[in-house]
Amino acid sequence: MSWPKEVLSTIKRLNSVKRVLTDMFTSREEAINLLVLATVCQEHVLLIGPPGTAKTEIINRYTELLDLQGFHYLLTRFTEPSEIFGPLDLASFQEGTYHIRTEGMLPSAQLAFLDEVFQGGSAILNSLLTLLNERIFHNGAEKQPVPLISLIGASNFVPDDPTLHAFADRFVLRLEVNKVPDDHLSHLLEQGWELERDRIETARRIAQGKPLNEALPTVKSEDVLALHGRLLEVDLSGIQPQYVQLIQELRAEGVELSDRRVVKGLKLVAGAALLREEEAVQIPDLWPLMHLWDRPEEAEVMRTVVQAHLAEAGEEIWNPKRPVSDILLDLEALEAQSPIVHTEAALGAHLMALNKLRHEVISAHPKEQDARKKIEEAIQHGLEQMEGAYV
């Protein structure tokens, strides 16, 4: 069996989204990989780290590229449930029915981001618990199904409060997001300034009453949902002995893995294989287990144990060279964006992305002259656009 063409197309486009975001945000590849995996597996992610590490910006861009209905909010201890779930429907209330208007709020979102996620009051967290686990929102007497694919929570800490443990446990995937290391500061400044220029240009266009340059989605939401169903077709049988051994090793090291996390981990491993376009799970697909920790002090232990197993896979399985077809798919996506790229900042970022594809072809596929020529023609077209707009 091999995956149908439409499945492979969706996977390639998701991987293209990962590369776009990785090129845009310095030292955030791990977070981006988790976002994509969580989306395919319909699981929730907890990002631990200080403010100012681009968490919100990454998720905003990701939501746009996947054409998903998003909802983002910063929780405080003063946040009211209506700010998250929606206001009371007064007309219904006057008729004796309690109903919340959820349009545009969290219960209508496919991808949600809650900053300082543990700061909400008990009324908010209790509703979120059911919403995360069962995809149900109790709207008065009605059990309202929600379209939520994944909720990303951010916090400076993992709570020790036992009353929050059940809620925190719904975030199966965890990652510590720290400041960009000093040796990557030059890259951070280069990418960060491009994002700032984009924000300045957006503010200027709003002030002038001009339409905004909105990014075209790379992946349709219905394709993402269809990909989730394909997890049932991934063959897990070949990896189960190694998976059991790995879980035993982690528990022997003192890592507290609940039965829920063990089962969820197997689904995430299947998702990792699917995103590699594989039909059966192999050792390299065990990497999501590094992110199943409960307490931050377990993170390094899990990384060490899992990486020892990944090393057994060998370099040939982790082939760093992408096929030319994938590179040309990225070129196609960039050319689709070209009609809406008008500002100097956007043109600069567009040309930078094209140039990276050119370098990739030269280094990985030096004999593929046709692919190189196509990319260079796109670069020349971008240069002509820039000259025409700013001469």
Model pLDDT, residue 325: 84
> What count of other Cβ atoms lies within 10 Å of the Cβ of residue 27?
18
Let me know: does 55 contact 177? Beta carbons within 8 Å.
yes
pTM of the model: 0.79
| SS3 labels along 362-383 | HHHCCCCHHHHHHHHHHHHHHH
With cut-offs at 50, 70 and 90, classify the pLDDT of residue 52.
confident
With cut-offs at 50, 70 and 90, classify the pLDDT of residue 308.
confident
With cut-offs at 50, 70 and 90, classify the pLDDT of residue 315.
very low
Sequence-distant (≥ 6) Cβ neighbours of residue 153 within 8 angstroms:
44, 45, 46, 47, 113, 114, 117, 118, 171
With cut-offs at 50, 70 and 90, classify the pLDDT of residue 389.
low
pLDDT in tens, 16-43: 899 889 888 888 999 999 999 999 999 9
DSSP label at 148? -
Average pLDDT score over the chain: 86
φ, ψ (nearest 5 deg) of residue 175: -150, 135
What's the rounded Cα separation, in Å, for the pair 269 and 231? 10
Domain formed by 5-186, architecture: 3-Layer(aba) Sandwich (3.40)
With cut-offs at 50, 70 and 90, classify the pLDDT of residue 330.
confident
What mean pLDDT do residues 69-95 have?
92
Nearest residue to 102 (alpha-carbon basis) of 88, 114, 120: 88
pLDDT in tens, 206-257: 888 876 666 666 788 899 999 999 999 999 999 999 999 999 999 998 898 8
What's the rounded Cα separation, in Å, for the pair 349 and 116? 31
In angstroms, the Cα distances linking 26 to 9, 48, 54, 176, 181 are: 27, 17, 9, 15, 10
Let me know: does 117 contact 75? Beta carbons within 8 Å.
yes
Residue 200 has pLDDT above 80, yes or no: yes
Residue 321 has pLDDT above 80, yes or no: no
Model pLDDT, residue 360: 77
Let me know: does 273 contact 282? Beta carbons within 8 Å.
yes
Could you tell me the residue ranges of all domains in the chain? 5-186, 234-311, 320-391
Model pLDDT, residue 339: 60
Model pLDDT, residue 320: 45
319 vs 180, more confident? 180
* H-run or E-run covering 113: strand 111-115
Let me know: does 295 contact 276? Beta carbons within 8 Å.
no
Residue 198 has pLDDT above 80, yes or no: no
Let me know: does 154 contact 57? Beta carbons within 8 Å.
no
φ, ψ (nearest 5 deg) of residue 170: -70, -20
Percent of the residues in the chain that have a pLDDT greater than 70, as a whole number: 91
202 vs 303, more confident? 303
